[in-house]
């Protein structure tokens, strides 16, 4: 159809079954390159093709999926907060995600332990910013005190933004 009306159509194919890689992908490649011989030859459309497989879901119901590595959760949270690709900090607090627009981000998460945003955790923060966003399982500091310190507490997993 693009050739018939000089269109610029693009498309995305989504397959949910096992045949996506060995049947659907091969059909799309033939359309791009062309197929057949002699009088039965069909000219290819040109273009390109990428094949992606989805990973494990980040959340299962109201819980973090234990099959998802913490690194992937950190990348997701960073992107949802900043709309930027995540680059891990070189050193420092293991829960520190980074700084963006003068806000520092922390993901205080441990698979086997409940994490609590408390004054002991705040003592580990060395990065200074106008505001600090901290993800943790619980918080033992009052909203008033957090506000005075320009800290926003986000509960894991409730406050992890969903796509």
Sign of the Cα pseudo-torsion (36, 39, 44, 45, in order): negative
Which segment of 45-54, 65-74, 121-130, 136-145 scores lowest on mean pLDDT? 45-54
Longest dimension (CA), the chain: 78
Domain ranges of the chain: 2-43, 59-155
Whether the pLDDT of residue 46 is over 90: the answer is no
Whether the pLDDT of residue 154 is over 90: the answer is yes
Q: How confident is the model at residue 158 (pLDDT cuts 50, 70, 90)?
A: confident
**Measuring CA to CA, which residue among 126, 125, 130, 151 is closest to residue 140?**
151
Position of tokens 């507490």?
A: 153
What is the distance between the alpha carbons of residues 93 and 121, in angstroms, rounded to a whole number?
10
What is the distance between the alpha carbons of residues 124 and 93, in angstroms, rounded to a whole number?
7
Across the chain, what does the average pLDDT equal? 88
Whether the pLDDT of residue 77 is over 80: the answer is yes
This prediction has a pTM of 0.72
pLDDT for residue 3 = 65
Q: How confident is the model at residue 163 (pLDDT cuts 50, 70, 90)?
A: low
pLDDT for residue 2 = 62
Q: What mean pLDDT comes out for the span 129-147? A: 96
pLDDT for residue 162 = 74
Q: What mean pLDDT comes out for the span 57-82? A: 91
Whether the pLDDT of residue 140 is over 90: the answer is yes
Q: What mean pLDDT comes out for the span 21-47? A: 85
The residue that leads in pLDDT, 97 or 3, is: 97
Q: Where are the alpha helices (DSSP H) in the chain?
A: 2-5, 24-33, 70-82, 119-122, 143-148
Provide the total of helices (H) and of strands (E) in the chain, helices listed first.
5, 10
Instruction: Output DSSP code: residue 161.
Output: P
């Amino acid at each position: 159809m693009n050739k018939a009306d000089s269109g610029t159509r693009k498309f995305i194919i989504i397959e949910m079954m096992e045949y996506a890689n060995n049947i659907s992908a091969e059909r799309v490649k033939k359309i791009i390159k062309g197929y057949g011989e002699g009088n039965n030859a069909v000219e290819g459309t040109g273009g390109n093709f990428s094949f992606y497989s989805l990973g494990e879901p980040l959340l299962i119901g109201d819980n973090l999926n234990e099959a998802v590595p913490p690194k992937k959760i950190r990348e997701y949270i960073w992107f949802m907060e900043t709309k930027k690709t995540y680059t891990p900090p070189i050193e420092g607090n293991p829960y520190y995600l980074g700084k963006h627009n003068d806000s520092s981000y922390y993901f205080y998460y441990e698979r086997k332990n409940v994490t609590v945003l408390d004054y002991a955790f705040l003592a580990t923060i060395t990065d200074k910013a106008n505001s600090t966003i901290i993800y943790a399982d619980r918080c033992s500091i009052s909203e008033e005190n957090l506000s005075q310190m320009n800290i926003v507490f986000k509960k894991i997993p409730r406050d992890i933004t969903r796509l």
